[in-house]
């Protein structure tokens, strides 16, 4: 039996002529910051629907037309989502009592569905449950009995084996209804599914940070994820000095991976004996990349977050075309220093931190949980510490990181690296010689992000209950679709009674850079954030700095005295709290001129 792991890594693999309809359900009552129940439906690993107990059912955009033609099918999915939520919740409560589990968050998962071979016509159904990331119980459709791999599931097996009507319903749904709809889905989404099922070869590059760094063979854009990559010497695979990275998903549904080779003891004359080999499942030919200095790209600059690129010409603030490297670098610094320090933001004396609260120290559990959730493959901040370094820390290393966070928490003395952001310009559109046509991406220190995330987790339960229901930005389980639904309902009501509708869209131009920090501290106090927690937040802004990195040139840092920290884990919650307070004040007729706004109607 396959081991049930967490929802995001579950998959039921199909061959080139086999199709699958799979549903993954996860119930985690008591978990903070996520819906208790989440369910996802996939056809050949392509998502078609998903639902949770907060938002309800949502159909993926590529399948809206299919479900629009069958509204009863949508209603059935929605009812199953609600029923499964109650079913899972009741079973978790029963298991907790039976297993004497009085504390902690416990998770129940289900993977069910069917497979169909379109050449042989063979059908297979499956329905299995997991509890706390381990196999718990599975249905044998041949004997219509439940299989309990663990003694803890025996009572559940004996009970469920007596529910004959439910067993017959499972047999009918998995053996008839599931294949019927699977065939419909495959027919409707043939082009989409064929595209996803067809192997996609990647682009392969050789990357090296510095002459003394390992050479990374990086492949990106391949599909499916069943791929291997390795280094060879004289045609033979080698393992010594080779470090294999994980296969990671891209935003477009493809995947990426890398494998590093340490060549510190290899002379340049021997480099031609090495090559990197990429092999993709169901593809007979390999992609072989010879180790050649001429094709190695330096993908990181001096700060590790500054991408290698040419120093192209730019216009000065007065419109003069700059061509020298010194002038171009100076212009970029001038542009971002002005952008991140707007002069039209009101200057307000910072609020006092207020009454003292319990100075609860940061625990090792808080730090460990945040480190576990760090994503690999991200660019490091000015301190050059990558997320993989933190994720590799053992108990001793995590205890030292916890100790550092507590020193910062108690003293308010934040390492300067944690307050320094590396700004990398990313081109948006139009004329690339104009600095304003670039968006600045700020990269922060990962140890500093861990500290900030711990604080964010303490701020969230204080501020979230006080935020108005109308606010959907940066809030779990809410988003643009909720606002569009409300807007459409307003239109429908207005049209029904022939009433005019007036709308005004407000575009907050570069608003993160314009939040007045003094007013923000006052707002946070109103929303319950005060004492040591407020002081800790303020301490990360006391010496806030940024430096611009372009074409491997790291410029001098400059102070940033206004706005929220770009890329900081807590900036979204701080921003929505600030805007919620402004929204409340505007509703009672107060002036709404604290932020310069760009109105677009």
What's 244's domain CATH number?
2.60.40.10
Is 325:553 a contact under the CB 8 Å cutoff? yes
Is 41:21 a contact under the CB 8 Å cutoff? yes
Identify whether residues 556 and 506 lie together within a single domain. yes
The arithmetic mean of pLDDT across residues 555-567, rounded, is: 84
- pLDDT recorded at residue 580: 83
- pLDDT recorded at residue 501: 83
Long-range Cβ contact pairs of 82-85 (< 8 A, separation 24 or more) = 82/53, 84/25, 84/27, 84/37, 84/39, 84/110, 85/27, 85/36, 85/37, 85/53
Could you tell me if residue 313 is inside a domain? no
Could you tell me if residue 553 is inside a domain? yes
Identify whether residues 193 and 208 lie together within a single domain. no
User: Where in the sequence is the domain holding 241, given as residue range(s)?
Assistant: 203-298
Identify whether residues 192 and 209 lie together within a single domain. no
Identify whether residues 431 and 565 lie together within a single domain. yes
Cite the DSSP H helix spans in 42-143: 64-68, 71-98
| Cα–Cα distance list, 596 to 100, 210, 345, 515, 584 (Å) | 57, 44, 7, 10, 18
Q: What is the pLDDT of residues 156-190, one digit of tens each?
A: 999 999 999 999 999 999 999 999 999 988 888 87
DSSP state at residue 514 = G
Put simply, whether the predicted model's pTM sits higher than 0.85 gets the answer no
Average pLDDT score over the chain: 81
Identify whether residues 185 and 218 lie together within a single domain. no
Structural domains counted in the chain: 3
Residue 540 exposure: Cα atoms within 13 Å on the Cβ side: 29
The arithmetic mean of pLDDT across residues 89-104, rounded, is: 87
Could you tell me if residue 312 is inside a domain? no
Identify whether residues 287 and 193 lie together within a single domain. no
Identify whether residues 289 and 360 lie together within a single domain. no
Q: What is the pLDDT of residues 504-538, one digit of tens each?
A: 877 776 777 778 888 888 888 888 888 888 998 88
The arithmetic mean of pLDDT across residues 580-601, rounded, is: 55
Select from 556, 306, 320, 313 the least CA-distant residue to 441. Answer: 306
**Cα(first)–Cα(last) distance of the chain, in Å?**
58
Identify whether residues 281 and 343 lie together within a single domain. no
Could you tell me if residue 132 is inside a domain? yes
Query: Can you give the length of the chain in residues?
Result: 601
- pLDDT-derived band at 405 (thresholds 50, 70, 90) equals very high
Could you tell me if residue 6 is inside a domain? no
- pLDDT recorded at residue 307: 47
- pLDDT recorded at residue 14: 37
- pLDDT recorded at residue 424: 85
Identify whether residues 271 and 191 lie together within a single domain. no
Could you tell me if residue 307 is inside a domain? no
Q: DSSP secondary structure string, 437-488?
A: GEEEEEE--HHHHHHHHHHHHHHHHHHGGGS-TT--TT-TT--HHHHHHHHH
- The CATH number of whichever domain residue 134 belongs to comes to 3.30.500.10
Angle formed by the axes of helices 364-372 and 395-411, to 10°?
110
Identify whether residues 235 and 214 lie together within a single domain. yes
Identify whether residues 208 and 180 lie together within a single domain. no
Tell which of 181, 197, 213 closes a domain.
197
What are 476's two structure tokens? 């779990």
Could you tell me if residue 308 is inside a domain? no
Identify whether residues 236 and 166 lie together within a single domain. no
Tell which of 169, 197, 225 closes a domain.
197
d(CA 524, CA 279): 53
Could you tell me if residue 9 is inside a domain? no
Helix (H) or strand (E) holding 551: none
- pLDDT recorded at residue 350: 47
- pLDDT recorded at residue 594: 43
| Cα–Cα distance list, 194 to 50, 60, 170, 186 (Å) | 22, 17, 29, 9
């Amino acid at each position: 039996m396959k081991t049930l792991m967490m929802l995001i890594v579950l998959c039921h693999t199909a061959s080139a002529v086999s199709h699958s309809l799979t549903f993954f359900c996860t119930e985690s009552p008591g978990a903070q910051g996520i819906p208790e129940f989440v369910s996802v439906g996939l056809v050949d690993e392509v998502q078609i629907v998903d639902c949770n107990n907060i938002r309800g059912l949502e159909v993926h955009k590529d399948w809206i037309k299919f479900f629009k033609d069958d509204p009863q099918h949508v209603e059935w999915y929605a009812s199953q989502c609600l029923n499964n939520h109650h079913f899972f919740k009741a079973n978790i409560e029963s298991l907790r009592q039976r297993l004497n589990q009085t504390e902690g968050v416990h998770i129940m998962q289900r993977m069910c569905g069917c497979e169909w071979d379109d050449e042989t016509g063979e059908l297979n159904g499956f329905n299995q449950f997991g509890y706390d990331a381990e196999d718990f119980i599975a249905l044998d459709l041949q004997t219509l009995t439940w299989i309990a791999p663990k003694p803890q599931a025996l009572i559940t097996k004996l009970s469920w084996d007596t529910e004959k009507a439910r067993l017959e319903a499972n047999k009918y749904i998995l053996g008839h209804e599931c294949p019927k709809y699977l065939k419909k889905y495959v027919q409707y989404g043939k082009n989409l599914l064929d595209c996803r099922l067809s192997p996609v070869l990647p682009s392969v590059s050789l990357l090296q940070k510095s002459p003394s760094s390992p050479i990374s063979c990086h492949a990106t854009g391949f599909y499916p994820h069943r791929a291997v990559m390795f280094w060879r010497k004289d045609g033979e695979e080698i393992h010594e000095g080779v470090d294999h990275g994980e296969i990671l998903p891209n935003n477009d549904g493809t995947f990426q991976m890398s494998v590093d080779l340490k060549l510190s003891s290899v002379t340049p004359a021997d480099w031609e004996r090495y090559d990197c080999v990429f092999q993709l499942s169901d593809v007979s030919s390999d992609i072989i990349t010879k180790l050649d200095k001429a094709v190695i790209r330096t993908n990181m600059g001096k700060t590790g977050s500054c991408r290698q690129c040419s120093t192209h010409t730019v216009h000065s603030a007065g419109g003069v075309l700059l061509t020298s490297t010194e002038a171009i670098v100076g212009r970029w610094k001038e542009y971002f220093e002005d952008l991140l320090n707007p002069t039209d933001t009101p200057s307000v004396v910072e609020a006092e931190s207020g009454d003292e609260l319990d100075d609860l120290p940061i625990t090792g559990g808080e730090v460990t949980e945040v480190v576990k959730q760090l994503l690999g493959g991200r660019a490091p901040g000015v301190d050059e510490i990558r997320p993989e370094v933190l994720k590799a820390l053992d108990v001793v290393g995590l205890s030292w990181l916890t100790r550092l966070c507590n020193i910062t928490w108690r003293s308010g003395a934040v390492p300067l690296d944690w307050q320094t952001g590396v700004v990398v310009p990313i081109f948006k559109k139009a004329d690339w010689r104009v600095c304003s046509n670039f968006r600045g991406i700020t990269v922060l220190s990962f140890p500093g992000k861990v500290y900030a995330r711990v604080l964010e987790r303490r701020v969230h339960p204080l501020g979230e209950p006080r935020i108005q229901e109308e606010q959907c930005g940066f809030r779990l389980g809410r988003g643009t679709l909720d606002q569009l639904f409300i807007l459409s309902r307003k239109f429908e009501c207005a049209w029904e009674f022939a009433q005019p509708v007036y709308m005004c869209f407000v575009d907050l131009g570069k608003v993160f850079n314009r939040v007045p920090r003094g007013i923000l501290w006052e707002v946070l106090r109103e929303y319950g954030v005060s004492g040591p927690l407020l002081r800790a937040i303020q301490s990360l802004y006391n010496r806030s700095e940024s430096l611009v990195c372009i074409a491997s040139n790291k410029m001098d840092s400059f102070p940033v005295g206004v706005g929220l920290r770009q890329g900081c884990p807590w900036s979204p919650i701080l921003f929505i709290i600030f805007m919620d307070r402004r929204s409340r004040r505007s509703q009672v007729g107060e002036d709404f001129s604290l932020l310069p706004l760009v109105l677009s109607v």
